[in-house]
Chains A and B, each alone.
Chain A
Amino acid sequence: MIAALFYLQYHSTRNRLVSRFKRLKQPKYLFGAIVGGIYFYFYFFRYVFRGYTGGARQAIIPAASPEFMVLMESLAALALLVIVLLAWLIPHERAALTFTEAEVAFLFPAPVSRRNLIHFKLVRSQLRILFSALLLTLFSHRFGGNGWIHALGWWLILSTLSLHFLGSSFARTLLLDRGVSNRLRRLLVFVLAASVGAVVWLWAKKTLPPMTSADTADFTSFMNYAQQLLNAGPALYLLYPFHLLARPFFAPDAGTFLAALAPALLIFLLHYFWVVFSDVAFEEASVEASQKLATRIAAVRAGNWQAAGKKQKARRAWFKLAPTGPAATALLWKNLIGVGQIFSARLWIILVVVVAVVFTGFGGSAHAQNISIVAAIIIAILLGYSLLIGPQLLRLDFRQDLPRADVLKTFPLHGWQIALGEILAPVTVLAGFQWLLLLVGLSLTVYMPGKHETLMLAIGISAAVLLPALDFLMLLIPNAAVLLFPSWIQSGKDSPRGIEATGQRLIFAVGQLLVLLVALVPAALAFAAVYFPLKFAFGPVTPMPFASLAAAVIVAVEAGLGVRLLGRLFERFDVTEEPAS
Chain B
Amino acid sequence: MIQVEGLTKLYGEFTAVNDLSFSIQPGEVVGLVGPNGAGKTTTLRCLAGIIPPTRGTVRVGGHDIVRDAIAAKKQLAFFTDEPRLFDYLTVWQHLNFVARIYQVADYEKIGATLLDELELANKKDALPGELSRGMKQKLAIACGLLHSPSVIYFDEPLTGLDPYGIRRMKDSILKRARDGAAIIISSHLLHLVEEICTRLLILKNGQKIADGTLLEITRKFSEQTGDASLEEIFFRATGEPGAPLAPPVLPLAPK
Contacting A410 at CB < 8 Å: which of B71, B73, B107? B73
Once A321-B96, A337-B93 are accepted as A-B contacts, the answer to whether A404 and B84 lie under 8 Å apart by CB is: yes
- Tell me whether A306 and B87 are in contact in the complex, defined as CB-CB below 8 angstroms, given that A314-B127, A412-B101 are known contacts: yes
Whether the pair A333, B42 counts as a contact (CB closer than 8 A) is: no
Main secondary structure of the interface of A (DSSP, over half): loop
How many Å from the CB of B40 to the closest CB on chain A?
14
Number of interface residues of A (CB under 8 A): 38
The stretch of B26-34, B44-52, B207-215, B225-233 in contact with A is: B44-52
CB-CB < 8 A to B71: which residues of A?
412
Bitwise interface map of A from 379 to 410 toward B, beta carbon under 8 Å scored 1, else 0: 00000000000000000000000001011011
Are B49 and A327 neighbours in the complex by a CB distance under 8 Å?
no
Partner of A304, one of B42, B87, B97, B99: B87
The answer to whether A323 and B52 touch (CB under 8 A), given A317-B93, A404-B84, is no
Is the C-beta of A341 less than 8 angstroms from some C-beta in chain B? yes
A412 touches B89 (CB 8 A): no
A410 touches B76 (CB 8 A): yes
With A314-B125, A323-B105, A334-B89 in contact, do A576 and B11 touch (Cβ < 8 Å)? yes
Q: Enumerate chain A residues within 8 angstroms of B102, measured Cβ to Cβ.
A: 412
- Which residues 126-142 of A have a CB within 8 angstroms of B? none
- B18 is an interface residue with CB less than 8 A from chain A: no
Q: A323-B99, A323-B107, A414-B70 are in contact. Are A338 and B93 (CB under 8 A)?
A: no
Q: Does A84 contact B (CB under 8 A)?
A: no
- Cross-chain contact A575 with B51 (CB below 8 angstroms): yes
CB of B87 within 8 A of CB of A299, answer yes
User: Quick one: which of A312, A313, A327, A340 contacts B103, CB cutoff 8 A?
Assistant: A327
Scan B35-57; emit 1 where CB is below 8 A from any A CB, else 0.
00000001001001111100000
- CB within 8 A of B89: which of A337, A407, A409? A337
Question: B22 interface residue, CB < 8 Å from A?
Answer: no
- The answer to whether A315 and B88 touch across the interface, beta carbons within 8 angstroms, is yes
A302, A311, A576 interface centre (most CB from chain B within 10 Å):
A576
Most central of A325, A410, A413 by chain B CB within 10 Å: A410
Output the nearest chain A residue to B96 by Cβ-Cβ distance.
Answer: A321
- Min CB distance A295 to B, Å, is 9
Within the assembled complex, what's the spacing in Å between the Cα atoms of A301 and B174? Answer: 36
Contact assessment for A410 and B78 in the assembled complex, using a CB-CB cutoff below 8 Å: yes
Docked-complex contact A323 and B103, CB < 8 angstroms:
yes
Q: How many of B's residues come within 8 Å of A, CB to CB? A: 41
Task: For the complex, give the distance between the alpha carbons of A547 and B8 in Å.
Answer: 54
Q: Are B101 and A406 in contact (CB under 8 A)?
A: no
CB-defined contacts of B126 to chain A, threshold 8 Å: 314
Whether A412 contacts B104 by the Cβ 8 Å rule is no
Complexed CA–CA distance, A323 and B103 (Å): 6
Q: Which of A27-58 contact B (CB under 8 A)?
A: none
A410 touches B50 (CB 8 A): yes
B42–A327 CB distance below 8 A: no
Chain A residues, Cβ within 8 Å of B186: none
Q: Which of B69, B74, B77, B100 contacts A323 (CB 8 A)?
A: B100
CA distance A574 to B45 in the complex (A): 11
The answer on a CB contact under 8 Å between A412 and B100 is: no
Residues in A neighbouring B101, C-beta threshold 8 A = 327, 330, 411-413
Q: Which residues of chain B are near A338, meaning CB under 8 Å?
A: 86, 88
* Chain B proximity mask over A320-337: 1 for CB below 8 Å, otherwise 0: 011111010110011001
The answer to whether B73 touches A411 (Cβ under 8 A) is yes
When the two chains form the complex, which single residue of B45, B50, B74, B97 contacts A333, counting CB atoms closer than 8 Å? Answer: B97
Chain A proximity of B75: nearest CB distance (Å): 9
- State the CA gap A125–B84 with chains docked (Å): 35
In the assembled complex, B187 has its CB within 8 A of some CB on chain A = no
Cβ A330 vs Cβ B97 within 8 A: yes
A413–B51 CB distance below 8 A: no
Taking CB atoms, residues of chain A closer than 8 Å to B76 are 410
Least Cβ distance of B198 to chain A in Å? 25
User: Which residue of B has the minimal Cβ distance to A320?
Assistant: B96
Residues of A near B15 (CB, < 8 A) are none
Chain B nearest Cβ from A146, distance in angstroms: 49
- Asked whether B96 lies within 8 Å of A407 as measured between CB atoms, the reply is no
B105 adjacent to A410 (CB under 8 Å):
no
Within B79-120, the residues touching A (CB, 8 Å) are 80, 84, 86-90, 93, 96-97, 99-108
Q: Across chains A and B, which 5 residue pairs bring their CB atoms closest together, nearest first?
A: A330-B100, A412-B73, A323-B99, A412-B74, A409-B50
For this complex, 5 residue pairs linking A to B, each with C-beta atoms less than 8 Å apart, are A306-B88, A312-B127, A327-B103, A406-B50, A406-B84
Given contacts A321-B96, A323-B107, A575-B50, 9 further A-B contacts (CB under 8 A): A312-B129, A314-B90, A330-B97, A330-B101, A334-B93, A338-B88, A340-B88, A411-B73, A576-B51
